[in-house]
Amino acid sequence: MRIYIIKLKTIIAYGAVTLALIILAAMWGITGMKPLEVFSQGREIPIYSVECEEKKASITFDCAWGADDIPRILEILENENVKATFFIVGQWAEKNPQYVKMIADKGHDIANHSYSHLRMGVLDTDRIEKEILLCSQKLEELTGKKVDLFRAPYGDYNNNVIRIARKLNHHVIQWSLDSLDWKPGITQEEILDRITKRIKPGAVILFHNDTPHTAKLLPTIIATLKKDGYSLVPVSELIMRESYYIDHAGVQRRK
């Protein structure tokens, strides 16, 4: 006859795991949250994409450096009857006020991309708040329009960044589809393939102005997406404003 000796700490460990599983199962049954969503509740998550039954997506541009291609981008969007979202750095806006006004006058979203284009995740609370407030104030002064969309430079965020942005009444927007138009050596064909082969309803597509290919390729991208049945709307129209939650993957879903 064999005698098995089980240490007390082993019993406690197994008991803790069992209890955690019971709690997860209970929360899944009560709230409908999947286990990964339960674990992610302590983590603040921005909107990467939106749950959509229709084929809708948003084209977004980050504006941080040059500005020479802005008139051409706006001309293409107007010709294609597409409204986009421009995430604008405050310092860029100060250097290019005529283009900020032009973007707003054409009916596109004017959105916050911080004042100085710093990595927000390493900043302290006061500087994060200052970066967001200064940028929105500058954009609102130039356009007369309320700014309530924010994207962190480099996509660099943490819980503090998101909580402060939300406290300041900004929806935090990431992206679900990166064109990589900024990447040295990338070809137009590679950018087109990335967009057209990975597009999904509710996608937020990331472009940048002041790149070698984006303005040249934009008419083809828009035509291809339209041919596939997509309507292209600004982020302000794509996202939900109430009765929603954001799941562990950053998908904004209706409650």
pLDDT in tens, 195-220: 999 999 999 999 999 999 999 999 99
| Pairing, β 244-246 against β 251-254 | antiparallel
Distance in angstroms between the alpha carbons of the first and the last residue of the chain = 58
For the cut 80, the answer to whether the pLDDT of residue 176 exceeds it is: yes
Average pLDDT for 48-52: 98
Choices 3.40.50.720, 3.20.20.370, 1.10.10.10, 3.40.50.410: CATH for 49-254: 3.20.20.370
What is the percentage of the chain residues whose pLDDT exceeds 90? 84
Side-chain-facing half-sphere of 166: CA atoms under 13 Å: 14
Are the CB atoms for 72 and 215 separated by under 8 Å? yes
pLDDT tens digits, 118-170:
999 999 999 999 999 999 999 999 999 999 999 999 999 999 999 999 999 99
Rg (CA), the chain: 22
Residue 237's CB: how many other CB atoms inside 10 A? 12
Residue spans of beta strands (DSSP E) within 103-157: 109-112, 149-150
Alpha carbons 112 and 152: distance in angstroms, whole number: 8
**Domain spans, the chain:** 8-42, 49-254
